[in-house]
Chain A
Amino acid sequence: MTGLAFLIPIALGLGLLGLAAFFWAMRKGQFEDLDGAAQRILIDDEDDEQ
């Protein structure tokens, strides 16, 4: 029983963390351009770029 006192808050906390991460990602526009992200990895870095 004493284990529950730790485990349940941890489980809930992790869930809330995931939820918060999703909300953050949505507000920051991480899902705005899903196709673009797939294309961008193919772009070569230019030499003159820092």
Chain B
Amino acid sequence: MTAPVTLETPEGAKLLDSRFTVPGMRCAGCIAKIERGLAKIEGVDSARVNFSSKRVAVRHTNSLDEESLVEAIAEIGFEAQPVADNPLAKDDREVKLLLRALAVAGFGMMNIMLLSVSVWSGAGGVTRELFHWLSALIALPVVAYSGRPFFSSAAMALRHRRTNMDVPISIGVLLATGLSVYETFAGGGHAYFDSAVMLLFFLLAGRALDATMRNKTHAGIGALLSRMGKSAAVLDEGGNRKIVAAEDLEPGMLMLVAAGDALAADGEIEEGETALDNSMLTGESAPHAASVGDTIYAGAINLGNPVRVRVTATASDTAIAEIARLMDEAGQSRSSYVRIADRASRLYAPAVHSLALIAFAGWMIAGAGWHQSLVIAIAVLIITCPCAMGLAVPAAQVVASGALAKKGLLVKDGSALERLAEIDVALFDKTGTLTLGEPVPQVDHLTGQQASIALALARTSRHPLSKGITKALEQRGVQAAKLADVREESGQGLTGLFDGRKVALARPETGSANIATSLMIGDERTKILFEDPIRPDAPEALAMLAEGGVSSSIVSGDFTEPVEAVARELGIDWKAELHPEDKLALLDRLKASGSRPLMVGDGINDGPALAAAHASIAPGGASDVSQQASDAVFLGSGLMPVALAVRVARKTMQIVRQNFAFAIIYNVFAVPLALAGLVTPLIAAIAMSLSSVVVVGNSLRLAKAAR
């Protein structure tokens, strides 16, 4: 949980900082409502919303705790979750480091260019020498500062006796800078400071783009995470209730699990009986009845009544942890995936090095002298140095992921797009993936009076089913009836008085296959059934996938009957009653037969499959574990983002390949010139900027890809 920072104010009162994620913020009105609403609360010093990351930071006195602030935000009308102290700090630091390096390189490049242009346009003698000295003065600290990301990565690779893209970059930059310094001392004609710094600038631009994209998506996903049991209300011997973080729970503790809460540990019910939503764990849509003596598992959501649970297993011993272990093993195969840029650099780096070496040796043999030979070898290194290549992949991926984010799909990183482009089979979980995963009441058969009474009763409760009824009826424009004496009795449901008659929403019947509740007005009983509808655009999305040559099927842990019904409606293959291991085995068989499967699923039981698949996508309502394990997360009630993701990923890779093709063509022309010793710093500079501009321009075409 949050470790609040304690600050001493001049008045001596202690102020704490707490952060909450509020995924429901959508507009300027929400920002104003939250900030002003919180500021009015006694004990709140200030509240500041960060709209981009959907968070609110509250500074408050220690008279308030996190729980009361969450309640306060709920009263304002938003669901909030406390978040740990800036878990994104690490990503943030990387982006900031790159941006600073980029700014410094940009500053250096502009000023050195200014000086270089006058040298190119004919400044000679003392002026040229002065300008070279000034360039050296600017370039040396700039290279030392901005080159660090490349130097450290190259050093790391060399230490492990490998080579990567950063090795030729570092060698090229260092050699060019070194030679230019020598030229400056010797009063020679050509200095390559501009090329060296410009190279750093363009490459840093690519890196910074890549890192920003990852950072942005992580912030978006971070805002969705953590509606799961991260903490529990625990009763101590004295009967005092306190909130304990999931990792601090111990076997033997007594947890108080309210309706709507997720379990944070495995345990045995000691008091009360209820219905549990086990879909996170098993994928089954029907609620499970549980009473005294039953063992219930972490991740289950309490749909019924408050129960007291004695903790039996925590953290790494829970059933969820077993699945997490499976996932870890399954994820190994994916980490061996080699990104396209790295694959290219494996061929590219040795080729560039040998070319430069050949150029040096060739000119030495031809008797050009070591100085001229070295200049030519460096020209080869710089001109082949992959500015266009460094930008080719990140530029395309950033534009594509931006376009997808607008359509409600958050892609975690570039490698996810590369793998998504390659898939040829799609496997879908049922509950929460093809369906919406939240019970929607069937209220069409209710008369106007019944509906208004049901709404008046349901809206007073925070029970998930009551919330579902409230939402459905409010959407139909039902006005709530005036009721007297509305009360919620735990375990019995909601009761009230309407015109002197007793009315009630009876508690859901546990144990039956479908969830249902009864509306009672006097003696008259009406049943309200709950259903889990298929996402409205699922047929279109599946058709779009099929168009792209991707065959879809359902793999579900649910019973045969409901799975078959959904599969028949959508017209796709299905497999039901699968355990997490079965799904994993199925994926392994598919991979062994040469397919590249895409897994789309939400439950923890899908976790291993998500980690093992070639690419995976989870809906925004999925469990934390599933969102962590997947490559992308889609938001909203549609399935279309999944189909769009595949299409855009394929277009992205097409553009990336075009970019590479362009970089190769460019080299075909530039390298012979460099080998022939015809490349002056001016030509190198022009060629480099031109190729970068073309690559970025080509990548921008992807902005329209998601339409």
**Which residues does A use to contact B, with CB under 8 Å?**
1, 4, 8, 11-12, 15-16, 18-19, 22-23, 26, 32-36, 39-44, 46
Q: How far is the CA of A18 from the CA of B110 in the complex (A)?
A: 12
Q: How far is the CA of A46 from the CA of B37 in the complex (A)?
A: 12
Partner of B31, one of A11, A19, A34, A36: A36
Q: Are B107 and A15 in contact (CB under 8 A)?
A: yes
Nearest 5 A-B pairs (CB), nearest first?
A36-B51, A42-B28, A39-B28, A43-B32, A35-B52
Q: Which residues of A contact B32 (CB under 8 A)?
A: 43-44
Q: How far is the CA of A5 from the CA of B562 in the complex (A)?
A: 83
Q: Are B114 and A11 in contact (CB under 8 A)?
A: yes
- Asked whether A43 and B31 contact (CB < 8 A) given A22-B103, A26-B100, the answer is yes
Q: How large is the interface on B (under 10, 10 to 19, 20 to 34, 35 or more residues)?
A: 20 to 34
Q: How far is the CA of A50 from the CA of B159 in the complex (A)?
A: 61
Taking the nearest CB of chain A, how far is it from the CB of B215, in angstroms?
Answer: 11
Question: Per-residue 0/1 for B100-126: is the Cβ within 8 Å of any A Cβ (1 yes, 0 no)?
Answer: 100110010011001000000000000
Partner of A36, one of B49, B100, B127, B134: B49
Taking the nearest CB of chain B, how far is it from the CB of A6, in angstroms?
Answer: 14
Q: Which residues of B contact A1 (CB under 8 A)?
A: 127
Partner of B28, one of A4, A18, A40: A40
Partner of A32, one of B29, B52, B130: B52
Q: Which residues of B contact A4 (CB under 8 A)?
A: 127, 130
9 contacts between A and B (CB under 8 A): A4-B127, A11-B111, A19-B103, A26-B96, A26-B100, A33-B49, A36-B31, A43-B29, A43-B32
Q: How far is the CA of A8 from the CA of B138 in the complex (A)?
A: 12
Q: Which residues of B contact A19 (CB under 8 A)?
A: 103-104, 107
Partner of A23, one of B53, B103, B110, B130: B103
Q: How far is the CA of A14 from the CA of B545 in the complex (A)?
A: 54
Q: A15-B110, A32-B50, A36-B31 are in contact. List 16 more A-B contacts (CB 8 A).
A: A11-B114, A12-B138, A16-B107, A19-B103, A23-B100, A26-B99, A32-B52, A33-B49, A34-B52, A35-B52, A39-B28, A40-B28, A40-B31, A40-B51, A43-B31, A43-B32
- Asked whether A39 and B111 contact (CB < 8 A) given A22-B103, A26-B99, A33-B53, the answer is no
Q: Are B51 and A33 in contact (CB under 8 A)?
A: yes
Q: Are B27 and A39 in contact (CB under 8 A)?
A: yes
Q: How far is the CA of A36 from the CA of B100 in the complex (A)?
A: 23
Say yes or no: is B36 at the interface (Cβ < 8 Å to chain A): yes
Q: How far is the CA of A41 from the CA of B28 in the complex (A)?
A: 8
Q: How far is the CA of A18 from the CA of B106 in the complex (A)?
A: 11
Q: How far is the CA of A39 from the CA of B104 in the complex (A)?
A: 31
Q: How far is the CA of A33 from the CA of B35 in the complex (A)?
A: 15
- Asked whether A33 and B107 contact (CB < 8 A) given A1-B127, A23-B100, A39-B31, the answer is no
Q: Which residues of A contact B110 (CB under 8 A)?
A: 15
Q: Which residues of B contact A40 (CB under 8 A)?
A: 28, 31, 51
Q: How far is the CA of A42 from the CA of B29 in the complex (A)?
A: 8
Q: How far is the CA of A42 from the CA of B96 in the complex (A)?
A: 29
